[in-house]
């Protein structure tokens, strides 16, 4: 199957490129393809003639999005719409990555695909409207909502905590937000599994699914685990990881207090189960220069 990939230099896109052996993958980073440009998208599709598209391109700067809403919506909503329209014209499917931030975090317990979205900030709103744009024009889609993504490539929480642990004596980390850290490599594996399934199964259950690491945790406990595992590999300056509240951590964008995703539907439909995020973290620390 010939796959067109956008966002090839992002966390998930980079992992997809590393795992694409044996597949015909045509990968574009942001410089190679501006998904907000309809003409550029049309030219890329005409030149590559893909049989499936994976959209891993996104504006993910949650706080900066509050000051740059036009850029966030251009990529996350309008770019998704351009790709979906191009897929519809060729009658090919789209795998589109979305986020736990489409929810407001007020629910007790995990969010399921049937729960109504209510994003709090620009980033979440732009991703939700991107989902809706895909649904509007392309029935043959799989929208995969993920959460708290970390990986070997790009900026993420693990890299930040490890850098700060080398520089500071104490780290203060939010302890009242709950979510599911998810290794980018695991997301890439899921997307390729779904692509392979689509290639051989004409009765794919199109729609929206959740996939994330397990179990749920807090940023504080995630940071403590990062420091513990990283400390087994190198000397660190940090002496303590302290818990603080969301109110004590200044941020431009509001975050959901609970963004735990329930993954029962993807397990029941595709036999894809969450992988422990600790395993992904171990893999990252072994193989990445972070």
Tell me the per-residue pLDDT of 53-101, one tens digit each, with 9 for 90 and over: 999 999 999 999 999 999 999 999 999 999 999 999 999 999 999 999 9
pLDDT for 138 equals 97
pLDDT band for position 290 (50/70/90)? low
Instruction: Give 190-234 pLDDT, tens digit per residue.
Output: 999 999 999 988 788 999 999 999 999 999 999 999 999 999 999
Q: Lowest-confidence range among 21-25, 166-170, 268-272?
A: 21-25
CATH number of 2-156+181-214+261-275: 3.40.50.720
Residue 44: per-residue pLDDT: 96
Residues assigned a catalytic role: 123
- pLDDT at res. 221: 98
Please state the domain extents for the chain.
Answer: 2-156+181-214+261-275
In tens, the pLDDT along 46-56 reads 999 999 999 99
- Looking at residue 289, its pLDDT comes to 64
What would the mean pLDDT of 18-31 be, rounded to a whole number?
Answer: 92
Q: Give pLDDT, residue 30.
A: 92
Q: SS3 for the chain, per residue?
A: CEEEEECCCCHHHHHHHHCCCCCEEEEECCCCCCCCCHHHHHHHHHHHCCCEEEECCCCCCCCHHHCCHHHHHHHHHHHHHHHHHHHHHHCCCEEEEEEHHHCCCCCCCCECCCCCCCCCCHHHHHHHHHHHHHHHHCCCEEEEEECCEECCCCCCHHHHHHHHHHHCCEEEEECCCEECCEEHHHHHHHHHHHHHHHHHCCCCCCEEEECCCECCEEHHHHHHHHHHHHHCCCCCCCCEEEEECHHHCCCCCCCCCECCECCHHHHHHHCCCCCEHHHHHHHHHHHCCC
């Amino acid at each position: 199957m010939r796959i067109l990939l956008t966002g090839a230099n992002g966390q998930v896109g980079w992992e997809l490129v590393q795992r694409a052996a044996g597949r015909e993958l045509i990968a574009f980073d942001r410089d190679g393809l501006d998904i907000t440009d309809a003409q550029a998208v049309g030219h890329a599709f005409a030149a590559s003639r893909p049989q499936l598209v994976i959209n891993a391109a996104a504006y993910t700067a949650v706080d900066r999005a509050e000051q740059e809403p036009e850029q966030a919506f251009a990529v996350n909503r309008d770019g998704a719409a351009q790709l979906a329209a191009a897929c519809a014209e060729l009658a090919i499917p789209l795998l589109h990555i979305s986020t736990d931030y489409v929810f407001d975090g007020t629910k007790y317990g995990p969010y399921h695909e049937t729960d109504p979205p209510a994003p709090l900030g620009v980033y979440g709103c732009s991703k939700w409207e991107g989902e809706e744009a895909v649904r509007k024009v392309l029935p043959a889609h799989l929208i995969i909502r993920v959460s708290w993504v970390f990986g070997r490539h790009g900026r993420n929480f693990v890299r930040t905590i490890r850098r700060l642990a080398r520089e500071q004596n104490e780290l203060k980390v939010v302890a009242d937000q709950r979510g599911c850290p998810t290794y980018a490599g695991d997301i890439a594996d899921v997307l390729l599994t779904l692509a392979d399934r689509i290639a051989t199964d004409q009765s794919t259950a199109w729609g929206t699914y959740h996939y994330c690491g397990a179990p749920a945790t807090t940023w504080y406990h995630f940071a403590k685990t990062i420091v513990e595992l990283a400390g087994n590999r190198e000397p660190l300056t940090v002496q303590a990881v302290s818990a603080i509240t969301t109110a004590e951590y200044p941020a431009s964008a509001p975050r959901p207090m609970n963004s735990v995703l329930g993954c029962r539907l993807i397990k029941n439909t595709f036999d894809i189960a969450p992988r422990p995020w600790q395993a992904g973290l171990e893999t990252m620390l072994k193989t990445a220069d972070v």
